[in-house]
Amino acid sequence: MKRSLLVLLVAAMMTIGSFGSAIAGKIVLGVPGAHSGDLAAYGLPTVDAAKLVVKSINESGGVNGMQVELSTQDDQCKPEFATNAAMKLLSDGVTVVLGHICSGATKAALPIYKDSNLVCMSPSATSPSLTLSGDYPNFFRTIASDDAQGALAAMFAAEKLGLKKPAIIHDKGDYGKGFAEWTQKYLEEKGIKAVLFEGVTPGAVDYSAVVQKVKASGADGVIFGGYHPEASKIVSQMRKKKMTIPFLSDDGVKAKTFIDITGKAAEGVYATGPQDITANPMYKVALDQFKAANAGKEPGAFYFEAYSAALALLKAIDYAKSTDYDKIVEALRTHEVETPVGKIKFDAKGDAIGVGFSVYQVQNGEYVEVK
């Protein structure tokens, strides 16, 4: 009996303690994500980025004259922990949320933030449904979603290559098939129907039968979703059979090893891949800050996306001159911010405009961006 009373007392004290920060006129940046467990490597760089952004903003006078505080919560990328983390952030009185890291965890936590009118911005959750479904008007992200690559491939195939009858092949995997399906969907929206949509078995001895089939279908181009070993075999056999139609693939193929193993047949192959962000002025700032704080280390996964998201969130509060939900959302959609991933603002669905993929082509044994 006595012990439970003690627990209650401690809990009450902790609650009061955490309410304290909300009352004191501070801005609290919540950072939920995988900070332990096997996916910590994806979550911890976001904490690094948030710390550095908050530090530099506090040093230059804070947001609207208020200092920014961090509140980190571990969700291990597990949906059931993500809801707990979200509840804890609410009781911490967070102003905005930077996270979560994994799409599943993000999806679990989003309704909680939505009910409390909190903006949530992920640096790494790429599941298309998070923005496309329209269920989460409070969700934003600084990484291109999985369908963006398909959309770009479809646009490029239709407008630049002028394909009318493409053949779409994939490797039956989540990634490759997903790319193929999104590309097909966007091609159909443009009124282009694929003459062939098929999966091949990764690692099969050869693909000459499927290549024959592409040839017999009269396709004027091949779009492939998958990784470079299969792409290499298919494109080699196409060129061997004197098929010169264009070959377009995804960032699983946009790798130097693809060119190495495919050799001459790789010439002219198109592949979508993440935009080169190293030329952005803020990229260097973010990188230098990281190196100054962590000597001899390289920033981890999604560090630059997280840095951009933290900047975008805090600058939006600054621009809105308020912590009001509607005003922050309005600022995110209308006000452009200079970030490591480029000069961005957000579209009505929450995806960052100006972040995404480019199309590359193999020219003389190198991937060159196609303008």
Partner 1 sequence: MEYFLELFFSGLTRGSIYALIALGYTMVYGIIELINFAHGEIYMIGAFVGLVVAGVLSSFGFPAASIVILATIAAVIYAASYGYTIEKIAYRPLRGAPRLSPLISAIGMSIFLQNYVMLSQTSDFLSFPSLIPEFGFLKNYESMIGSTDFLIIAVAAIVMVGLNLFIKFTRMGKAMRATAQNRKMAMLVGINVDQVISATFVIGSALAAIGGVLIASHIGQINFFIGFIAGIKAFTAAVLGGIGSVPGAMLGGLILGWTESFCTGYVSSDYEDVFAFALLVLILIFRPSGLLGKAPIQKV
Q: How far apart are CB 308 and partner 1 at their closest, in Å? A: 32
What's the Cα-to-Cα distance from 251 to each of 214, 237, 286, rounded to whole Å? 22, 21, 25
Closer by beta carbon to partner 1, 127 or else 183: 183
Residues 6+ apart with CB under 8 A from 211: 234, 237, 238, 241, 243
Q: How far apart are CB 229 and partner 1 at their closest, in Å? A: 5
Closer by beta carbon to partner 1, 197 or else 323: 197
Q: How far apart are CB 244 and partner 1 at their closest, in Å? A: 13
Closer by beta carbon to partner 1, 107 or else 228: 228
Closer by beta carbon to partner 1, 100 or else 228: 228
Closer by beta carbon to partner 1, 117 or else 257: 257
Cα–Cα distance for residue pair 269/206, rounded to 1 Å:
20
Phi, psi of 149 (to 5 degrees): -65, -40
Closer by beta carbon to partner 1, 15 or else 257: 257
Q: Which two tokens stand for residue 75?
A: 């969700």
Q: How far apart are CB 254 and partner 1 at their closest, in Å? A: 15
Neighbours of 90 (CB within 10 A): 17
Q: Which two tokens stand for residue 211?
A: 């290549």
Q: Decide if 306 contacts 50 (C-beta within 8 A).
A: yes
Q: How far apart are CB 200 and partner 1 at their closest, in Å? A: 5
Neighbours of 234 (CB within 10 A): 26
Q: Decide if 51 contacts 70 (C-beta within 8 A).
A: yes
Task: Summarize as ranges the residues that interact with partner 1 (CB under 8 A).
Answer: 172, 198-201, 203-206, 208-210, 212-213, 215-216, 228-229, 232-233, 236-237, 240-242, 257, 260-263, 265
Q: How far apart are CB 249 and partner 1 at their closest, in Å? A: 15
